[in-house]
Amino acid sequence: MNIEQLTRPHIRDLKPYSSARDEFAGQADIFLDANENSLGSATEEAYNRYPDPLQRAIKAQLAPLKGVRPEQIFLGNGSDEPIDLLFRAFCEPKRDHVITMPPTYGMYQVSADLNQVKVVHVPLTDDFQINIAEVITALRPGTKLVFVCSPNNPSGNLMALASIELILQKAKGLVVVDEAYIDFAPEASLLPLLDRYPNLVVLQTFSKAWGLAGLRLGMAFAHPAVIGVLNKIKPPYNVNGLTQEKALEALAAVAKKDAMVATLLVERTRLAEGLAALPIVGKVYPSDANFLLVRMDDARHRYQQLMGQGTIVRDRSRLALCEGCLRITVGTPAENDALLAQLDALG
Ligand SMILES: Cc1ncc(COP(=O)(O)O)c(C=O)c1O
C-alpha cells in the first residue's frame, strides 16, 4: 500500500504550519520566540508555555506499554480528532466513500457528513458480527476508510478477528479499528498486526479504562507514513499542556488503571446477572466493554422512569438491531446497586 498515493493530492503537497516549538525544541535559558507571557499565568500553576506539539514525553512512555514505536503513535483531542483528520487526509469530498457497520459509534457518520463524504452502510448481522461477504462486496477503489468498532458501541461485543483480517487484506484504503473499549475485552488489541498491515489504523482512548474522559486524549496507532500525514494536518498544539501533564501522571500509575478495569469487570458480571433476573428485562447481551446492551419490555418508558429517579442511561431503542434496548454503563458498585433496586421497584 502506497500511503502517499492514498493521500489527497493537496494534502500531499501542503506545506504545514511551523510553530515556534517545531522550529526549536531544545533546552535554552530564555524563550522569547513564541509570544508567550514570560511573567507566568493567571492561575496557581504555570501554563504560560506552549506544549510540545508532538507530545514526545507521552509517546516515549506509551510506546513500550503498547508494544509499538513512537513514530507509530498519533495523539489527539479525543479519538474524535484522528477520526476527523483521517477523513480530511484521505477522502475526497463528494467522490470517495467510507464503509461503516451500523449499529455503531455515531461519530463516523457525523465526521463523514461534516466532510461531505458518502457512507456506505453494511449492517452487522443479527448477532452483531461483521457481515463479511457484504463488506467485501462493497469494497471499491474509492473506499478510502473502513470503520470497524471492536468492541462495538452500542452492542458491546468484539468483532471476529478473521473478518477484520480479511478486510485488511482486501481493502485498498485504510481499515480503522476503533478499540476504545479494548481494555475491558478478553482478547488482545490488534496492535501487533500493525507491522503486517500498513493499512491498519487502531484507535484507542484515555476516556474509558484510564478514566480520563475530561482530559480529551485519544490515540491513533498506524504506519509511520499515516501518522506523518495526521501530524502534518493537525492543529499545531492539539493536545494541551495540562492534558499532557496529567496523561504522564496516569502513565506512571498503570496499576491504578488496571485495578479500576478489574473492578469494572467484576461489576459488569454482577450487573448483567442482576439485570437478567428482572422480569422487565428481556435480554442482556454479552459484553466485552464497560457497558451492557439490555433489551427491555418497554425501553422508552423505562428510560423515562429511570430519569425520573435521577438515573440516566442511554436509550438506543431507535437504532436498527437495538429495538427495545437501553445501553447501560457499568458504574460503581453503589451505582449499580441503586440502578438494580430502581429497576426492581418498577417491575
Ligand atoms: C467506539 C468509540 N470510539 C471513540 C469514542 C470517543 O472517544 P474519545 O473520548 O477519545 O473522543 C467513543 C466514546 O464513547 C466510542 O464509543
Per-residue model confidence as pLDDT tens digits over 98-125: 999 999 999 999 999 999 999 999 999 9
pLDDT in tens, 13-28: 999 888 888 888 889 9
* Beta strands across the sheet bearing 314-315: 281-284, 291-296, 325-329, 314-315
| 246 and 275 together in one domain | no
The pLDDT value recorded for residue 18 is 87
Identify the residue whose C-alpha is closest to ligand 1 atom 12.
180
- Structural domain ending residue among the three candidates 252, 282, 311: 252
CA–centroid distance, residue 108 to ligand 1 (Å): 10
Q: Which range marks the domain in which residue 117 is found?
A: 3-252
> What confidence score (pLDDT) does residue 21 get?
83
Element containing residue 98 per DSSP (H, E): strand 97-100
Q: Are residues 102 and 172 in the same domain?
A: yes
Read off the amino acid at residue 212: L
CATH number for 209: 3.40.640.10
Residues 223, 321, single domain; the answer is: no
Do 233 and 278 sit in the same domain of this protein?
Answer: no
CATH code assigned at 271: 3.90.1150.10
Is the pTM higher than 0.85? The answer reads yes
Do 123 and 131 contact (CB within 8 A), yes or no?
yes
Check whether residue 248 and residue 277 sit in a common domain: no
For residue 139, pLDDT beyond 90: yes
Whether residue 243 is found in the same domain as residue 261 = no
Do residues 75 and 101 both lie within one domain? yes
Question: What is the whole-number distance in angstroms between the Cα of residue 35 and the centre of ligand 1?
Answer: 35
On whether both 218 and 270 belong to a single domain, the answer is no
* Residue to mutate, 83, 150, 153, ligand 1, most ligand atoms under 8 Å from C-beta: 153
Number of structural domains (the chain) is 2
| 189 Cα: distance to centroid of ligand 1 (angstroms) | 16
Residue ranges around ligand 1 (CB below 6 Å): 78-80, 105, 149, 153, 178, 180, 205, 207, 213, 218
C-alpha cell read off for 180 = 476504545
CB atoms within 10 A of CB 312: 11
For residue 170, the tally of other CB atoms under 10 A from its CB is: 14
Cell of 170: 482486501
* Phi-psi region at 116: left, alpha or beta (left = phi > 0; alpha = psi -120 to 50): left
CA-atom Rg of the chain in angstroms:
22
For residue 347, pLDDT beyond 90: no
